[in-house]
Amino acid sequence: MTLYALRRLAAVAGVLLVICAVTFAIFYLLPSDPAAHACGKTCTPEQVTLVREQMGLDRPVHEQFGGYVAGIFAGRTLGTGPAALECSVPCFGYSYQNALPVWDLLTDRLPVSVSLAVGSAVLWLAGGLAVGLVAALRRGTVLDRSLMAATLASASVPVYFTAMMLLLVLVQQLEWLPYPDYRPITEDPAAWAGNLLLPWMTLASLYAAMYARLTRASMIETMAEPYIRTARAKGLHERTVVTKHGLRSALTPIVTIFGMDLGGLLAGAVITEHVFGLPGVGQLTYDAIFKADQPVVLGVTLLAAFFITLANLGVDLVYALIDPRVRYA
């Protein structure tokens, strides 16, 4: 099991390196000129050339890429002469927009995105599993059909629409919730949760609907398995049959999807953060893309890739815990 985990971890490193190279290549091939962006609108061509040299953009791509990767693990000095910038480990470069280290930008924004992702994940898992389970056990009844119709509606509505509606009703009309304004959990946990409740509900309403449908389908399939009949033939209580024998098997596909979804959200829910004005990684991504801020986009991409591959690894490890058939494979 430990060996398996180590092997998988090495694979994660490989995947990240490849993603890094691909992202780097895409930016190298793009027609936009970061030096011109960094220099500003009033720069002469000579000044742009100077900036390009300073930023190392005139060097061959493999050297630039080598420098970037080396910087992550060893730190590096960017530029030469009096304008040189010391970039400490882990160095992901500096933002072209405001000359702040990308690493600092990411670590500043990360708690917001993690708070958003984890909080909504708790909500949608609880809601989705409960609704799916009830629908599966009451399959074919009016309750099942109404729940499934509701989830279909909930999953079909775009996030920004849900966000607007919730804002309108819960914040403006009923005034039950404050307009989201991020507060760190370390300062005031109650304010943290209260302010994030709206974004959590927005994201969760989308995901919970999908999880409810998935749970229902998986549970119906599992409850038709011969081993469920065996469990009933043993004289077990229906409760035990459903939870111990049914739900545990039905959870395996849900674990897979959950890992992917959570991994993707940890690196920022772009639309949700944007709608609610939350200063998370998603918001950072949004700005960086529009300003062609290559180091930031690269950093965000790597962060997202890191979370997704890590979530995948987590999924595989949890899978091995749930299903003994996976352990020795």
Partner 1 sequence: MILQVRDLRVSFPAGTAVDGISFGLERGRTLGVVGESGSGKSVSSLAIMGLHREAAVSGSIVFDGEELVGAPASRVRELRGRRMAMIFQDPLSSLHPFYTVGEQIAEAYRLHLRTSRRVARERAVEMLAEVGIPEPRRRADEYPHHFSGGMRQRVMIAMALSCEPDLLIADEPTTALDVTVQAQILELIRKIQEDRAVAVMMITHDLGVVARVADEVLVMYGGRTAEHAPAREIFRSPRHPYTRGLLASVLRLTAGEEEDGGRLPAIPGNPPSLLAPPSGCRFHPRCARYAAAPDDACVTEAPEPRPAGPGGATHRTACHLIDISGGRR
- What DSSP string describes 113-129? HHHHHHHHHHHHHHHHH
Query: Cβ of residue 324: shortest distance to partner 1, in angstroms?
Result: 5
Nearer to partner 1 among residue 247 and residue 300 (C-beta): 247
Is the CB of 190 or the CB of 233 nearer to partner 1? 233
Nearer to partner 1, 77 or 230 (CB): 230
Tell me the DSSP string of 188-238: -HHHHHHHHHHHHHHHHHHHHHHHHHHHHHHHHHHHTSHHHHHHHHTT--H
User: How is residue 153 written in tokens?
Assistant: 């509606």
Q: How far is C-alpha 127 from the chain's CA centre?
A: 20
Our CB check for partner 1 shows the closer of 162 and 249 to be 249
Minimum CB separation of residue 129 from partner 1 in Å reads 18
Which one, 88 or 230, has the nearer CB to partner 1?
A: 230
Exposure string over 34-58, b if 16+ CB within 10 A, otherwise e: bbbbbbeeebeeeebeebbebbbbe
In contact, 212 and 152? CB cutoff 8 Å: no
Chain-centroid distance, C-alpha 26: 22
Q: Least distance (Å) from partner 1 to the CB of residue 60?
A: 54
Cα torsion angle, 267, 270, 271, 275, sign: positive
Q: How far is the CB of 325 from partner 1 (least distance, A)?
A: 5
Residues of the shown chain interacting with partner 1 in the complex, contacts defined by CB under 8 A: 225-227, 229-237, 245, 248-249, 322-325
Cβ 6 to partner 1 shortest distance, Å: 24
